[in-house]
A and B are shown apart, each in its own frame.
Chain A
Amino acid sequence: MPSPVIETIGLTKAFPGVVANDRIDLEIRAGEIHAIVGENGAGKSTLMRILCGLYQPDLGEIRLRGVPTVIRDPRHAIKLGIGMVHQHFMLVDRFTVTENVILGAEGTRWGRLDRRAARRRILEICDRYGFDLDPDLAVEELSVGQQQRVEIVKVLYRGADIIIMDEPTAVLVPQEVQELFDNLRRLAKSGKTIIFISHKLDEVLDIADRITVLRGGRKVGTVKAQETDRRGLAEMMVGRPVLFSVDKEERAPGEPLLKVEGLSLKSGERYLLRDVSLEVRGGEIYGIAGVEGNGQTELVEVIMGLRRPTTGRILLAAQDVTGLPVGRVRGHGVSFVPEDRHRRGLILNMTVWENLFLGRHRARRLTAGPLLRRIVMLGEADELVQEYDIRVGSTGQPVSSLSGGNQQKVILARELAGQPRVIIASQPTRGLDVGAIEFVRQRLIAARAAGLAVLIVSADLEEVLALSDRIGVMYGGRLVKEVAASETTAQELGMYMLGSTTGAKEARDHVL
């Protein structure tokens, strides 16, 4: 058997707090379409970044066609014939297709651009692999599928033999997905090797020859696509014991405190949210499961008042709050733990105690007229630090000096302290270490016990299963499945998350 075109042996890469790739042995053969699947955080992107020269591995070896190689940087990777098509396109919108393709590989140093020659080569490539592109159009005028093709042409233009595609179908509509797959098959037939990273099992089974599953930084196994099915893959991806057995008492939920009816959000031609309806009752945790990028962020932003929905209504304890600004929504008793701590959750150059009162600073008991009751605030801040076990020297420190876990505790403390009726927590344990994760989850359970309506959004399936009473799965901007946590399994949810059931198919067919 010929040596694999690319091979990794014991590849390991660690970051502070997490081992992203743990002794991974990978073996990819020439001319095959090889898929790498796994959940968020399984280590797929780190692995790919190493292969395309953005990261250097801590341990292990890479072999190209049997030869041990060090991939020094992206330029070197290109020289070695490895081309990466990023999930977030690296394109200059204003430039034409030609200009985007030749940027950095113009053929001359300072002199005249030879557009004609470049154009010719691009058309040749398009011809050979059946791409349908007009080299003279500006990239911003192209559809997303066409833009992706430009990215592929970019790497082919530079002579790539190995093409790595990172979540390529995340932004495509079904017809574009099929076109992409036809293109990929043609590329593979002509000898190119495709590495295809995805979390969408159906598609992976459709396009790949072989599939490698990653989980928690390790390789679980490699299977032939023909020899497995969705269940098998989902089991490999997700089948680990629940980390914490959470003590959740039985509760009879109360009134619906948060209700969303027919919420839709359009951006240009795309539906970011499509007719989403759900309700969360007091004393229950409703978990929204789904891989990131399927509308969860937008849903939460719309509910909070950071964005206006195109259609639909939002009701808080039967009061219509659709279109109200954030301050008013909060005034109805909603608290929010945003998914991006640093962007929306904290003001990094302010102190810990100042961040603990962000949004609540005008409460009557905290102010004396126009002035803040600093002593009261500092006292309360100390109490909160105690109660939430926030590891900090003094509440007068800038919050930027805290670890991620402690920062999240600050946000949690703040949002729960205001006696809300509804709390929305988006990716509440992302990037946290074990201790902090447990803490956050306990707090959310406690909020539930106190009668709050808790809406959590998490890409971590176990977390959703462990915490939620009811679960809604989002895929492609729609709520495709709603089920009681006790009546489902990770595998079943996984399949809905990955778009592979009849419900999801319907969703796909109804997209524009």
Chain B
Amino acid sequence: MQRRRETMSYRRRLLELAAPLLALLFALLVGGIFLLAIGKDPLQVYLTMFRFNLSRLDSIGSILYKSTPLIFSGLAVAVGFRVGLFNIGVEGQYFIGALLASIVGFSLHGLPVWIHLPLVVLAGMLGGMLWAWLPIVLKLRRGAHEVITTIMMNHIAYALVLFFITSVFLDTEQEMVKGLGSPQVRMPKLLETARMPTMHGFLETLGIELPRHVYLNWFFPLGILLAVALFVMLWRAAYGYELRAVGGNPAAAETAGINTQRTMLSAFLLSGALAGLVGLSDLLGYFGYLDIDFPKGYGFTGIAVALLARNSMLGVILTAILFGFLRRGAEGVQAFEGVPMDTIVILEGVIILSIVVAVQIVNWYVRRQEKLMKRRQVTMERAGGD
């Protein structure tokens, strides 16, 4: 009995990994085709990417820095999927989060850092939650599909943030060096007390000298902690159990007495809060201000991160780092091999598509196995059983 228990779970674990690996392989293949199309040798390019990424300390730091927003984004999307909802609105939610965080960051004077910084972070989460509120309410009350509403909210967010930057909070008191450049279109700089410190000091105590131009900051460990916390919540807390139940089968959850509507609402708002954190690593750890070129696209990459991790909270850490790896690698191969960075974007899209197709294929295979097993079980039981 004991051995049967183990072999079963090994097989199952292997199958769980099968789909993501298949998807990755396929994506690399497709990437290879694109590379061939522009006359590059795929193996050479991939090799360069690996060497560039792993042999330099600034690469490793950069990988982790780039993965930070993706951890939050992947978590946000994954939490949504776990309760059965598709949060494509992470994109807009993190913009609004960055907006609120920025405002709190530059306008509250005289606070010590250990009050100001948490307030800024909270403002970010609040912004994300706010932006997630309308779509979920429309879905629960009117059955409006959350995909279309959240995508619209994304576009509105872009416009709104642009408006706030250019017309409301435009920083007109910028110190200009004479004759050098033009004023940036941005909001006022965040106060020192609102900035997230980088990890250089801490790493030095470990004997690691991280180069100055890498901005790895404490949001990274925060992201990991959050992932672990969400994992614990999802798998060890009563609320997480209900969340998964509603996502797994709302009818059965309802029959069991779980309030499915309330669960979906709170989970989606949680997703929004996580989304609000996505832009903060860049805002508080690198830029220090919100401008019109604030990075876009983390929301969509988050979808790839979550799906590739099969919506596992801990898995998201790995896949986010993987995507950070790919992005850093893209910089490297662009510099050394002349390959455009957009290959990465293509890879991201291909990964999303191939992972869901791979999941279907693996599912089909698993279902076939289960049917065969069940047939065997029933005939065994009919014959008298064990």
Contact = CB atoms under 8 A, between A and B. Distances in A.
Asked if A and B form a direct contact in the complex, defined as CB atoms under 8 angstroms apart, the reply is yes
Interface of A: 16-17, 304, 306, 325-331, 336, 338, 343-350, 354, 358-359, 361-362, 367, 370-372, 374, 391, 393-394, 396-397, 400-401, 403, 405, 433-436
Given A17-B382, A372-B238, 19 more contacts: A17-B378, A326-B257, A327-B258, A343-B252, A345-B255, A347-B252, A348-B248, A354-B241, A358-B253, A358-B256, A359-B256, A359-B257, A371-B232, A371-B236, A372-B236, A372-B237, A401-B370, A403-B377, A403-B381
B236 A348 contact: no
B8 interface: yes
A18 to B, nearest CB: 9
Contacts of B202: none
B374 interface: yes
25 contacts: A16-B378, A17-B382, A326-B256, A327-B257, A329-B257, A330-B256, A344-B255, A346-B249, A347-B244, A347-B248, A347-B252, A348-B248, A350-B244, A350-B248, A361-B238, A367-B238, A370-B237, A371-B237, A372-B237, A372-B238, A374-B236, A393-B4, A393-B8, A397-B12, A403-B381
B259 interface: yes
A128 B258 CA distance: 56
Contacts of A358: 245, 252-253, 256
Interface of B: 1, 4-5, 8-9, 12, 232, 236-239, 241-242, 244-245, 248-249, 251-259, 370, 373-375, 377-379, 381-382, 385-386
A348 B249 contact: yes
Q: For B5, B253, B255, which residue has the most chain A Cβ atoms within 10 angstroms?
A: B255
A361 B242 contact: yes
A405 B248 contact: no
Contact of B5 (A17, A350, A372, A393): A393
Contact of B245 (A350, A370, A396): A350
Contact of B374 (A16, A344, A348, A371): A16
B382 A434 contact: yes
Nearest to B367: A400
B255 A304 contact: yes
A358 B8 CA distance: 24
A405 B378 CA distance: 9
B251 A349 contact: no
Contact of A306 (B1, B255, B370, B373): B255
B370 to A, nearest CB: 6
B252 A345 contact: yes
B236 A330 contact: no
Nearest to B241: A361
Highest count of chain A CB atoms <10 Å: which of B9, B253, B378: B378
A338 B255 CA distance: 8
Contacts of B242: 361
Contacts of B252: 343-347, 358
A102 B259 CA distance: 46
Contacts of A371: 232, 236-238
A246 to B, nearest CB: 21
B385 A435 contact: yes
A435 B249 contact: no
A326 B8 CA distance: 36
Contact of A400 (B4, B237, B238, B370): B370
Contacts of B238: 361-362, 367, 370-372
A344 B239 CA distance: 20
Nearest to A363: B238
Contact of B259 (A306, A327, A330, A405): A327
A300 to B, nearest CB: 11
A347 B237 contact: no
